[in-house]
Amino acid sequence: MSGMGFDRHSAAIIGADVNARRTSALAVAEETIARLAAYDAIQPQVWISRFSEEAIRSAARAVDARVAAGEALPLAGVPFAVKDNIDVAGLDTTAACPAFAYSPSHSATVVEKLLAAGAVCVGKTNLDQFATGLNGTRSPYGAPRNAYNLAYVSGGSSSGSSVAVAAGLVAFALGTDTAGSGRVPAAFQHLIGFKPSKGRWSSKGLVPACRTLDCITVFTDDTADARLLDEVIAGFDAADPYSKRLADRPLPRKRIGVPRRSQRVFFGDGESEFLYARALEKLGRLAEIVEIDLAPLQEAALLLYGGPWVAERAAAMAGMLADNPDAIDPTVREVVAPGLAIGAVELFNGIYRLAELKRHADLLWEGIDMLAFPTAGTTYRVAELLVAPVALNSALGFYTNFVNLLDMAAIAVPAGVRDNGTGFGITLIGPADTDRALLDAADAYLAAADLPSPPPLDLEGKMQTVKLAVVGAHLKDMPLHWQLTSREAKFVGSFKTAPSYRLYAMADSVPPKPALVHSSDGGPIAVEVYELGVAEFGSFVVEVPAPLAIGTVTLSDGSSVKGFVAEPRALTGAEDITDLGGWRAYIARQG
């Protein structure tokens, strides 16, 4: 990012600088216009529509005039983007469905408040059509991709908004959240995703997904900007029937609820499992970690797409489903259309069951102060989502779908950088109206976590790589090391495995090779880790002879990499050399 011209903005700093005349809103606008033009060459699909360059300049000049007249504007000159299911006067609202498009006469209440505070709207961002999806691939305008690895999904449905902030095109962007759409994209792109309590921010001017659950949200680079934007936006709106009076509840933060170990699901993603465990270790220094039963929350979550709340999505799209169903993305139509057949009896039974589950959730707060869940248990490549759009999307919502149904507030925060550059995050969740307290909790966690900065943006498409642990004949200066160097493998470092492996010298192996076997009474074994391109890794695996194989090896810090493992027959006649701690010690003893 830094040095690329796409370093992230700070809304607070821009506003302060423009108010103090250290810069001008017009200067900020010119820089924004340049960034937009440069990034259009990489991901034009981030946007559905934008104001003209001259319109952006004109809006910035108007802000400068207001500042010169003595107005103190908290967001003076701050560029922002709006998800295209939220009205902005002067730009069509499409919800990523061209046949649905209309021209609003007024901006949404939240947008009006931002403009009144001096912010400059750049344009409307892409999304999963009708905000139905958590991945970002369900749009006729293209699939915005993760700004840090273009092979991976951005997360959705607020896909374009998240990329616009991650790529430094705007200081903040509005999204929406019904099932996790304002949190999952934040996690994948190292952002803050602030989802207020239902009714805290007006939803007037929002195309509904599930009207009783929808929340307008914001993506920012840090919690300070999220706090500033909440100060500008939050408030009762009599024109919104779901708006409510502001209330700020305290959050003691002494006991943090997490899923029981047996209920934690990472969909085979060892890296997510490791990063979540590390986040809990940091949180454990701040509060008591309390394991809770996830099942009631998961049952509530299933009501959203597997129960009568699908009818609420169908109600929002009833006109399109009846008059122009072919204009709807096929996957979106597959998800929503069954809602038309849900009757009142099923709906009321769902309402009754949700009330029971909400009572359980409300009582949960008597034993804990907040929840800390993975935002998503894994991530996927765009190509994977296109092949299995429903099943993989459901996996992304495993930890998010229940939050709005049970009337909770949430903030998604970064919790680590994956080897592929994408982000892993956790979400702090509290009862309704604990929004400001959750921001304070996020600050405390981020200070304790001391996370690395996000990696450089992916501006060209990264080569996909795999980390491989070698334990014997492929070590440096050993007979088969050439199989790595010929594939331009990069040495990552020397490590030890977790203390749960045994090492054997196989009998009659030429050249001599060890067998690494998982064992509860094992010990730490020395390994070297190398990084290879995916294609090179595949060609390497093809050459691995039986009884050896490539599996997953856990290192001493709890992280996992690919590595050599062995079939049971490898132990026939083999010598147990675990006590030597590694293959080099064995070779030295032989010599």
Q: What pLDDT is stored for residue 4 in this prediction?
A: 44
Give the domain-ending residue among 449, 475, 493: 449
Residue at a domain's end among 425, 449, 473: 449
Indicate whether 297 belongs to any domain: no
What residues make up the domain containing 553? 465-590
Residue 413 CB coordination number (10 Å): 31
- Looking only at the bridges linking them, the beta strands covering 490-496 and 514-518 are unpaired
Strand ranges of the sheet holding 514-518, from the earlier edge strand across to the other edge: 514-518, 501-505, 575-576
- HSE-CB at 527 with a 13 A cutoff on CA atoms is 32
Q: What is the CATH number of the domain that holds 581?
A: 3.10.490.10
Task: State the DSSP code for 579.
Answer: G
Q: Which H or E run contains 549?
A: strand 548-554
Residue 94 near residue 251 (C-beta atoms within 8 A): no
Instruction: Tell the residue number behind the tokens 């493998």, with chain if given.
Output: 489
Q: How far apart are the C-alpha atoms of 77 and 61, rounded to whole Å?
A: 9
Global confidence as pTM: 0.91
DSSP H/E element including 426: strand 423-431
How far is the CA of 117 from the CAs of 19, 112, 336, 573, in angstroms?
A: 11, 9, 38, 77
Check which CATH number belongs to the domain holding 391 and give it: 3.90.1300.10
- Give kind and range of the element (H or E) at residue 392: helix 389-396
Locate 79 and state its tokens. Answer: 């560029």
Query: Could you give the dihedral angle defined by the CA atoms of residues 291, 293, 298 and 301, in that order, rounded to the nearest 10 degrees?
Result: -70
Whether residue 123 sits in one domain with residue 47: yes
pLDDT digits 0-9 by tens, 16-45? 999 999 999 999 999 999 999 999 999 999
The helices-and-strands tally (H runs, E runs) of the chain is 20, 19
Can 559 be counted among the known catalytic residues?
no
CA distance 499 to 457: 37
Q: Are residues 16 and 140 in the same domain?
A: yes
Domain shared by 29 and 66, yes or no: yes
Q: Which of 24, 83, 197, 467 is catalytic?
A: 83
How distant is the alpha carbon of residue 233 from its chain centre? 24
Model pLDDT, residue 1:
32
- Reduced DSSP (H G I as helix, E B as strand, rest coil) percent helix, strand, coil of the chain, to 5: 35, 20, 40
Element (H, E) at 259: strand 255-259
Q: Which of 10, 139, 157, 203 is catalytic?
A: 157
Mark whether 420 and 536 lie in a shared domain. no
Dist CA 87 CA 107 (whole Å): 5
Residue 550, domain member (yes or no): yes
Catalytic residue flag (residue 157): yes
CA dist., res. 85 & res. 75, Å (int): 23
Confirm whether 245 is domain-assigned. Answer: no
Tell me, yes or no, whether 139 and 200 share the same domain: yes
Q: From the centroid of its chain, how far is CA 97?
A: 24
pLDDT of residue 473: 96
Q: In the chain, how many domains are there?
A: 2
Q: Is 83 a catalytic residue?
A: yes
Using 70 as the pLDDT threshold, list the residues of the chain that sit under it.
1-5
442 plus 481 within the same structural domain: no
SS3 158: coil
The C-alpha atoms of residue 119 and residue 134 are separated, in whole angstroms, by 28
Angle between helices 223-233 and 11-19 (to 10 degrees): 70
Same domain, 43 and 170: yes
Shared-domain flag, residues 159 and 206 = yes
172 is a domain residue: yes
Of 449, 481, 505, the residue that ends a domain is 449
Instruction: State both tokens at 69.
Output: 């007249």
Answer yes or no: do 481 and 518 share one domain.
yes
- Alpha-helical (H) ranges within 93-153 are 109-116
* Residues 90 and 206 both lie in one domain: yes
Do 204 and 90 have their domain in common? yes
Spatial CB neighbours of 363, under 8 Å, sequence gap ≥ 6: none
pLDDT at 5: 64
- The residue from 181, 202, 243, 272 that is catalytic is 181
Domain co-membership, 423 together with 476: no
Residue from 551, 467, 468 nearest 515 by CA:
551
Q: For residue 515, which phi and psi values (nearest 5 degrees)?
A: -125, 125
